[in-house]
C-alpha cells in the first residue's frame, strides 16, 4: 500500500481558513442558549470552530423568518428568481477551490472528490435554469366538456422546505436539494450535520451575494433528536438524505403532519461483472465505484459478483490496483484516498472488518487503521468469503471495504444482486449493451449504471434518481426533483351550465346522451 508517512502535524491547512472567517460563517446559525459543538479538522483532529447549537425555540424562530421572506419571494417573477441562480452559478465556479478546501477540512475527503462535489451544484443550477420556466408555467388542459370547459394546471410553491443534509456530501446535498426548491418560490430551512456545516454555510453566503434575499435560506444546527422533531413540525415538505433507520423516523413524522417527504436512504449496492467484460477497464472503473470518497457514498459498491472463469484474474488485478493507491492527508490533488469522517465512523468500519474475519472471511488487502497518516484513515480493504452472517454481508459498511463473490450462472448473479432489503444503486459491466439493458431491467434498484459504478446515473440531472425497497421514497433530479417542491392546483372553468338535464330533458334521456357522448369522445380521441 503506497502511503505518505508524514505525521499529521505536517498537514498545512489553507491560509485563508482563519478563525475570523469561520466565525463569520457560523454566526448565521441561531443559538439562544449559547450551546456549541466542536467542529474539527478531520486530518488532524484540531478544533476549527465552535459551531452554535440551535434550540427548538431557535428552530421555530428560523422557520417563522423563512416563511416571512418566502411570501415576497414567491411573488417575485420567475425570471427575476432565476437571474439569482445565473449569477450564483458563476460565483460557485469562481470560488470552487475555496469550497473544496472547506469540504476537505470538515470531512477529510481527498481533493478530487471534494472538487467534484462542488461541481454538482452548478450542474443542478444549469439543468433547472433550463427546465424551471416550462415546469412552473401554467398549463392549459382540456376540460370535462369539450369547448364549454377548460382546466389549468398550476404549481405554486409549498412554502417552507426542510432539508436535512448528511455529512458525506454536505455542500452538494445542502445546496443542490435547495436550488429547485428556491427556484420554485419556496424558502428553505436547512439542518446540516454538525461535522460538516461549514461548506453549506459558505454556499449560502454565495447565494446571497448573487441576490438571494436574506432570511430566505435559514440554517439551524444540532443533533437530530434535539432539533429534528421541531423542524418537522414547522415545514411544509421534507427532503432527507441519510440512513434508513432515521428515514423511517422522518417519514413517520411527515405522515403525522400530513406533509410530503423525499427520502434517499441506505444501500448495499452490487456490481455484476459479465463474462464478456473487459477486465482491465472493469478493474479501473471499480476503483472509484468502491473507494470514491473513501467508500462514504450512498451509491458506492460494496459487493462485486464475478464469473468463475474470470474470478482469479479479476481478483489479482483488483488487489494489485488497490495496493497501489496513495493515501495521504493533503489539501491538494494527488492522494487517491482520504480519511473517514470521524473516529466513531472509523470504529464502525473497523468493527465490520473484524466481525467478518472472526466469522471466516479473508482479507485480501488492507483491513487496518492508519494512525500514522491521520486520526481517521483506514486502508482500502478487499474481503473474500463474506457471508450473510457477517455485518458486512448484509449491512451498509459505508467505508473503503468491498467483498468479492464468485458466480456460476447469470441467473445466480442477478438473484444474489437482488438478495438485499436495499435497492439504491447497482452496476453492470459488459461489452454487450443490449444484454446489459435487459439485465438492468431485472435488477431491483433505483439506479443502474452500465460500465460505470455510480457517477453516470447520479450526474444525469435530467433523469430522476431515487431508491427502491428500503433505500428510499421519492427522487431528486429530473422534473420530479423540482415539482415535488410545489403544490398541484387545478383551476377548472365551465363556460355554460350543461352538467345535468337541460330544460325539460328527463334524467333517462340525459343519461343516454352522456353514454353516446362518451363513446364518441373515445372514438374521436377527445377523451
The rounded distance, in Å, linking the Cα atoms of 267 and 297 is: 9
Question: DSSP letter string over 71-108?
Answer: HHHHHS-HHHHHHHHHHHHHHHHHTHHHHHHHHHHHH-
Is 72 a catalytic site residue?
Answer: no
| Other Cβ atoms within 10 Å of 322 Cβ, number | 25
Nearest Cα to 152, choosing from 430, 389, 482, 490? Answer: 490
Strand partners, 486: 157
| Other Cβ atoms within 10 Å of 13 Cβ, number | 16
The rounded distance, in Å, linking the Cα atoms of 235 and 442 is: 38
φ and ψ at residue 407, rounded to 5 degrees = -145, 155
The rounded distance, in Å, linking the Cα atoms of 14 and 120 is: 23
φ and ψ at residue 195, rounded to 5 degrees = -70, -25
| Rg for the chain, CA atoms, rounded | 26
Contact 380, 339 (CB under 8 A): no
Contact 246, 225 (CB under 8 A): no
CA neighbours within 13 Å on the CB side: how many for 327? 30
Cα-Cα end-to-end distance for the chain: 67
Question: DSSP letter string over 17-34?
Answer: --HHHHHHHHTTS--TT-
Nearest Cα to 179, choosing from 197, 200, 150, 155? Answer: 200
Contacts of 122 (CB under 8 A, 6+ apart): 89, 92, 93
As a 3-state breakdown, the chain gives helix, strand, coil percent values, each rounded to 5, of 45, 20, 35
The rounded distance, in Å, linking the Cα atoms of 221 and 223 is: 7
* Of 106, 264, 328, 379, catalytic: 264
State the catalytic residues: 264
Amino acid at each position: 500500500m503506497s502511503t505518505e508517512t508524514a505525521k499529521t502535524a505536517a498537514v498545512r491547512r489553507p491560509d485563508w481558513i482563519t478563525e475570523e472567517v469561520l466565525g463569520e460563517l457560523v454566526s448565521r446559525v441561531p443559538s439562544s442558549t449559547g450551546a456549541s459543538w466542536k467542529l474539527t479538522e478531520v486530518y488532524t483532529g484540531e478544533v476549527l470552530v465552535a459551531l452554535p447549537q440551535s434550540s427548538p425555540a431557535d428552530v421555530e424562530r428560523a422557520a417563522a423568518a423563512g416563511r416571512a421572506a418566502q411570501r415576497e419571494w414567491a411573488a417575485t417573477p420567475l425570471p427575476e428568481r432565476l437571474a439569482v441562480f445565473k449569477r450564483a452559478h458563476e460565483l460557485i465556479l469562481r470560488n470552487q477551490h475555496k469550497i473544496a478546501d472547506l469540504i476537505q477540512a470538515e470531512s477529510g475527503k481527498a481533493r478530487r472528490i471534494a472538487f467534484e462535489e462542488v461541481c454538482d451544484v452548478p450542474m443542478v443550477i444549469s439543468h433547472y435554469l433550463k427546465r424551471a420556466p416550462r415546469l412552473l408555467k401554467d398549463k392549459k388542459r382540456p376540460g370535462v366538456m369539450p369547448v364549454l370547459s377548460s382546466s389549468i394546471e398550476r404549481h405554486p410553491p409549498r412554502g417552507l422546505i426542510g432539508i436535512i443534509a448528511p455529512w458525506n456530501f454536505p455542500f452538494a446535498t445542502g445546496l443542490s436539494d435547495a436550488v429547485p426548491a428556491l427556484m420554485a418560490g419556496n424558502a428553505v430551512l436547512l439542518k446540516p450535520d454538525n461535522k460538516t456545516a461549514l461548506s453549506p454555510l459558505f454556499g449560502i453566503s454565495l447565494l446571497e451575494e448573487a441576490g438571494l434575499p436574506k432570511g430566505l435560506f435559514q440554517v439551524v444546527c444540532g443533533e437530530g433528536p434535539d432539533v429534528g422533531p421541531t423542524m418537522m413540525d414547522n415545514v411544509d415538505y421534507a427532503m432527507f438524505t441519510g440512513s434508513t433507520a432515521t428515514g423511517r423516523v422522518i417519514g413517520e413524522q411527515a405522515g403525522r403532519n400530513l406533509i410530503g417527504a423525499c427520502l434517499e436512504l441506505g444501500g448495499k449496492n452490487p456490481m455484476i461483472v459479465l463474462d464478456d467484460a473487459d477486465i482491465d477497464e472493469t478493474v479501473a472503473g471499480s476503483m472509484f465505484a468502491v473507494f470514491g470518497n473513501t467508500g462514504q457514498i450512498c451509491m458506492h459498491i460494496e459487493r462485486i459478483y464475478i464469473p468463475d472463469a474470470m474470478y482469479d484474474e479479476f481478483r489479482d488485478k483488483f488487489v494489485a490496483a488497490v495496493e497501489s493507491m496513495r493515501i495521504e492527508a493533503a489539501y491538494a490533488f494527488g492522494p487517491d484516498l482520504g480519511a473517514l469522517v470521524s473516529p466513531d465512523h472509523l470504529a464502525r468500519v473497523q468493527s465490520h472488518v473484524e466481525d467478518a474475519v472472526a466469522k471466516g472471511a479473508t482479507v485480501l488487502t488492507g483491513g487496518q487503521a492508519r494512525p500514522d497518516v491521520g486520526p481517521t484513515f483506514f486502508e482500502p480493504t478487499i474481503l473474500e468469503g463474506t457471508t450473510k452472517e457477517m455485518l458486512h454481508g448484509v449491512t451498509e459498511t459505508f467505508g473503503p471495504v468491498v467483498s468479492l463473490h464468485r458466480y456460476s450462472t447469470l441467473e445466480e448473479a442477478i438473484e444474489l444482486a437482488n438478495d438485499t432489503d436495499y435497492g439504491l444503486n447497482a452496476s453492470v459491466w459488459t461489452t454487450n449493451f443490449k444484454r446489459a439493458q435487459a439485465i438492468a431491467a431485472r435488477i431491483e434498484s433505483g439506479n443502474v449504471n452500465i460500465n460505470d459504478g455510480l457517477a453516470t446515473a447520479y450526474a444525469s440531472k435530467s433523469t430522476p434518481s431515487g431508491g427502491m425497497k428500503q433505500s428510499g421514497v421519492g427522487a431528486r433530479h429530473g422534473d420530479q426533483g423540482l415539482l415535488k417542491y410545489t403544490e398541484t392546483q387545478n383551476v377548472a372553468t365551465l363556460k355554460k351550465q350543461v352538467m345535468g338535464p337541460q330544460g325539460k330533458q328527463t334524467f333517462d334521456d340525459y343519461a343516454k346522451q352522456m353514454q353516446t357522448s362518451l363513446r364518441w369522445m373515445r372514438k374521436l380521441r377527445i377523451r
